[in-house]
Amino acid sequence: MTTSIRPRRSALYMPGSNARALEKAKSLDVDCLILDLEDAVAPDMKADARAQIVAAVQGGGYGDREVVIRINGLDTAWGEDDLKAAIDARPDAILIPKVNSPADLERAAHKLALGNAPQTVRLWAMMETPLAMLNAAAIAACGRDPEVRLSCFVMGTNDLAKETRAKLNPGRAVMMPWLMTCVAAARTGGIDILDGVYNNFSDLDGFAAECAQGVEMGMDGKTLIHPKQIEACHAAFSPSEEEVAWARKINEIFALPENASKGAIQVDGKMVERLHADMGLRVIAIADAIAARSNA
């Protein structure tokens, strides 16, 4: 379960085999980095990428950026070695691909415990298989189990399209039931959820539209594939000044003595309930946490 608010507006993937990208990441204004050993790395390069990622994470220099290592699945030829190496590297989180059920996370968590990984090393889960869509609530419940230490869902829309044969088209109409099911599941588990990637990184307008859709859906942030996508992503997922001002205003008004016993009040011609004030507190906390970051 996430205990303190941490902005996860942007999570940039980079191939673990790409030394230049691993270095460049230290200067990018991004909330999270996903150093990948899985889909972005060819089989011949897996061992080199693993060594390179361990050296990069141990070498540090990533500041406040949350550093996440995506390993290969534990049923593949590389998974066990990846997990051992990732545990030694002590990243902020280890991202498990193609999670189908809680057992997949429990298996990884067991290895973390055996490897004496501190609780600061969290697990993240790729939600990208048909079975994961059907088991989303059970998987998210791992967020309530301190032994599993699950903190975040990451939507893997490319794999989901491949495995289901559903089309990943602009607007993502057919994906919507799965995406929203995972949002609901994430909330029940008290964890964050990051939206899938937008493959056409040259189309910044299409990307901005998909970010706006993710915000509307309640996603906490979006996974990215190229540095070009960071700015629009942050513009979409950061609370606007107006939102923060409104959040402060309604909380101040509810705090007035004359409103102490009221559940619903009128502000600027709109009904405002205490639940809106609570939502506002989250907006303020996110805005404060963004302001406190030193990466920008």
**Interacting residues toward Mg ion by CB under 5 A:** 39, 156, 159
Q: Pick from Mg ion, ligand COA, none: which does 159 bind, CB < 5 to 8 A by kind?
A: Mg ion
H or E element: which one contains 97? none
Give residues with Cβ within 8 angstroms of 8, minimum separation 6: 31, 32, 66, 152, 192, 194, 220, 221
Structural contact between residues 96 and 104, judged by C-beta atoms closer than 8 angstroms: yes
128 annotated as a binding-site residue: yes
Alpha-carbon gap, residue 85 to 54, rounded angstroms: 7
175 binds, among ligand COA, Mg ion, none (CB under 5 to 8 A by kind): none
When CB distances are held under 5 to 8 angstroms depending on the partner's kind, the choice from ligand COA, Mg ion, none that residue 21 binds is ligand COA
In whole angstroms, the minimum distance from the beta carbon of 39 to ligand COA comes to: 5
Smallest separation (angstroms) from Mg ion to the CB of 275:
37
Beta pairing partners, 33: 12, 67
CB of 223 closer than 8 Å to CB of 233:
no
Q: Quick one: what does residue 91 bind among Mg ion, ligand COA, none, with the CB cut-off 5 to 8 Å set by partner type? A: none
Sorted by sequence, the CB contacts under 8 Å of residue 205 that are 6+ apart come out as none
Which residues contact ligand COA by CB under 6 A? 12-15, 20-21, 24-25, 36, 39-40, 197, 225-227
Sign of the CA dihedral with 204 first, then 208, 28, and 32 last: negative
Q: Cα angle at 170 between 165 and 171, to 5 degrees?
A: 100
| Shortest Å distance, C-beta 228 to ligand COA | 7
Nearer to ligand COA, 50 or 276 (CB): 50
Lookup: tokens for 239: 């609370």
Closest residue to Mg ion using C-beta atoms: 159
The answer to whether the annotation marks 81 as part of a ligand binding site is no
Closest Cα partner for 72 from 81, 64, 62? 81
**Least distance between ligand COA and beta carbon 30 (Å):** 9
Question: How far is C-alpha 53 from the chain's CA centre?
Answer: 20
- Which of ligand COA, Mg ion, none does residue 92 bind to, with CB < 5 to 8 Å depending on kind? none
Is 172 labelled a binding residue?
no
Name the minimum Å distance from CB 128 to ligand COA: 10
CB-nearer residue toward ligand COA: 14 or 57: 14
**Annotated binding residues:** 70, 128, 159
**Annotated binding residues for Mg(2+):** 128, 159
**Annotated binding residues for substrate:** 70, 128
